[in-house]
Amino acid sequence: MKAPEFTLPNAEGKSISLSDYRGKRVVLYFYPKDSTPGCTTEACDFRDAHADFAAKNTVILGVSADSAKRHQNFIAKYELPFELLSDTDHTVCEAYDVWQLKKNYGKEYHGIVRSTFLIDEDGELIHEWRDVKVKDHVASALAYIDQLN
């Protein structure tokens, strides 16, 4: 199945499209919020494995509803070597069905359900991880890609 195409601004406001990465695999991960504990751990895990993904012709793109300015701060603080994209109106989150009703301490609200998608060199969605638990997730994604080679 074709992955939903999108164009979103990165931390510098430059438009980034999924189609920009044809010829490479894309790990597209959606996360709730910059600088929160789970999201920081996940981003740093992707950072630490960045060279391993790159060696497998795979780029990493992170998506949240945060502003470009928040992304700039997050990238700078944790030295993230990959693009973070701003989906402030949730359009792409909705296209990937990760913008959902959540419950926390008895409150209901809409937000991003932590999810990761693997897209092949031709833009086909080949694997998805939904409702991700951060611990060991990046290693699991890398192991999945290893078995494709």
Are 32 and 134 spatial neighbours (Cβ–Cβ below 8 Å)? no
Task: Average the pLDDT over 77-104 and give the result.
Answer: 96
Question: Quick one: what percent of the chain has pLDDT higher than 70?
Answer: 99
Cα distances (Å, whole numbers) of residue 128 to 8, 76, 79, 92, 139 = 20, 28, 26, 15, 14
Task: Average the pLDDT over 112-127 and give the result.
Answer: 97
The shares of helix, strand and coil residues in the chain, as percent rounded to the nearest 5, are: 35, 30, 35
Task: Average the pLDDT over 118-129 and give the result.
Answer: 97
The CATH number of 7-148, from 3.40.50.1580, 3.90.76.10, 3.30.429.10, 3.40.30.10, is 3.40.30.10
Are 30 and 115 spatial neighbours (Cβ–Cβ below 8 Å)? yes
Q: Give pLDDT, residue 104.
A: 84
Residue positions annotated with a catalytic role: 39
Domain range summary for the chain, segments of one domain joined by +: 7-148
pTM of the model: 0.95
Question: Quick one: what percent of the chain has pLDDT higher than 90?
Answer: 96
Residue 120, pLDDT > 90, answer yes
Q: Which two tokens stand for residue 114?
A: 């932590």
Residue 149, pLDDT > 80, answer no
Q: Over the stretch 36-66, which tens digit does the pLDDT of each residue have? A: 999 999 999 999 999 999 999 999 999 999 9
**What backbone torsions phi and psi does residue 76 show, to the nearest 5 degrees?**
-65, -45
